């Protein structure tokens, strides 16, 4: 069972392009993700915004794990077509045969050797933004601008502690007092973010940055799973005017909503976490078409991609189910 909030020390933390052991080479590495996982979704969004699809291939695991964790049952014959493995854990074993720890996504795997390079999810997106810069598409946005890095890092620290991680701490709490402490801290942070975003389009500066990506992946899952499944139910995101409009603004921006698979998200949480949801029943809501309603955030100014341009169409084979606008097409 996956309890992503329990962030054990990352066992493999190498940065591609930062050492001779793992040189930056287009086509050499494969990003393995689950579209259900918020930590992996960060890497999916960054890869798409930076146009790294041709340089870094991507494998998508089944949202439902078994006893061997993340598996490639969505692929023909149950094997990843590039790595030739059935379970992500095989890449861990190729790197360290005696490894017996958890298997997590996102993960970057070296294709020639089949070895895991890194599963350090906070650093993977920064690695893609910095060391992978020579392979970025023309017009790629600067998601981690150097003059704003201190502020981005500070915002990310607060968001990780209270929001990204907070929903897991609440959801897997086994004592009332512990649950109430983290749940109150979560909503105090959401209240502060609501105030911050009521007068500015993005979290830091006037363009999309790493900070927006890290917050978005939790917001997009909040009403669908965290509100009910994790008992984060003081408010829904739809009840926060600024946060809800901000979430829709990002969702409707190329590179965000076109990477989100709500089916994978809901089935993973409600079917896998049987200690929380013993029946495995997956709810029918919420109404996903609301994600496509007008957000009016452009009135706050801002330039989504700064001096860059939007990413092109989703590459063939990586499409996700499209939402239907309210009232149909």
Beta strands in 3-95 (DSSP E): 29-33, 57-60
Contact 109, 83 (CB under 8 A): yes
Q: Angle of helix 38-49 relative to helix 210-221, nearest 10 degrees? A: 130
For 67, 232, 246, 252, the CA distances from 304, given in Å and listed in that order, are 42, 30, 12, 11
How far is Cα 70 from Cα 139, in angstroms, rounded to an integer? 34
Contact 164, 193 (CB under 8 A): no
User: Does residue 232 carry a catalytic annotation?
Assistant: no
Q: Angle of helix 176-197 relative to helix 241-251, nearest 10 degrees? A: 80
User: Does residue 37 carry a catalytic annotation?
Assistant: yes
Q: Which of 41, 22, 15, 26 is nearest to 119 (CA)?
A: 15
How far is Cα 286 from Cα 280, in angstroms, rounded to an integer? 17
**Sequence-distant (≥ 6) Cβ neighbours of residue 195 within 8 angstroms:** 242
Bridge partners of 114?
Answer: none
Could you tell me the strand order of the sheet in which 107-110 lies? 57-60, 29-33, 107-110, 116-118
Catalytic residue among 144, 168, 226, 269: 168
Q: Angle of helix 121-129 relative to helix 210-221, nearest 10 degrees? A: 140
Q: State the catalytic residues.
A: 37, 168
């Amino acid at each position: 069972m996956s309890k992503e909030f329990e962030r054990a020390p990352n066992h493999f933390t190498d940065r591609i392009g930062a050492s001779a052991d793992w040189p930056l080479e287009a086509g050499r590495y494969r990003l393995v993700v689950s579209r259900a996982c918020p930590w992996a979704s960060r890497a999916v969004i960054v890869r798409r915004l930076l146009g790294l699809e041709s340089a870094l291939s991507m494998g998508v695991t089944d949202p439902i794990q078994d006893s061997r964790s993340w598996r490639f049952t969505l692929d023909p014959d149950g094997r990843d077509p590039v790595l030739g493995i059935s379970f992500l854990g095989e890449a861990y074993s190729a790197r360290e045969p005696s490894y017996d720890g958890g298997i997590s996504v996102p993960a970057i795997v070296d294709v020639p050797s089949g070895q895991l390079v890194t599963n350090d999810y906070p650093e993977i997106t920064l690695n893609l933004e910095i060391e992978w810069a020579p392979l970025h598409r023309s017009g790629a946005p600067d998601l981690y601008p150097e003059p704003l890095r201190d502020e981005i890092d500070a915002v990310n620290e607060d968001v990780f502690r209270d929001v990204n991680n907070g929903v897991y701490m609440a959801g897997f709490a086994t004592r009332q007092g512990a649950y109430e402490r983290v749940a109150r801290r979560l909503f105090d942070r959401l209240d502060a973010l609501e105030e911050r975003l009521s007068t500015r389009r993005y979290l830091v500066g006037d363009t999309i940055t790493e900070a927006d990506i890290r917050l978005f992946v939790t917001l997009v899952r909040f009403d669908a799973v965290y509100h009910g499944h994790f008992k984060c139910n003081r408010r829904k995101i739809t009840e926060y005017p600024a946060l809800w409009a901000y979430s829709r603004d990002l969702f409707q921006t190329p590179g965000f909503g076109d990477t989100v698979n709500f089916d994978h998200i809901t089935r993973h949480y409600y079917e896998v976490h049987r200690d929380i949801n013993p029946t495995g029943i997956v709810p029918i809501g919420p109404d996903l078409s609301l994600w496509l309603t007008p957000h009016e955030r452009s009135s706050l100014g801002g330039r989504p991609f700064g001096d860059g341009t939007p990413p092109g169409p989703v590459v063939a084979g990586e499409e996700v189910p499209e939402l239907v606008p309210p009232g149909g097409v």
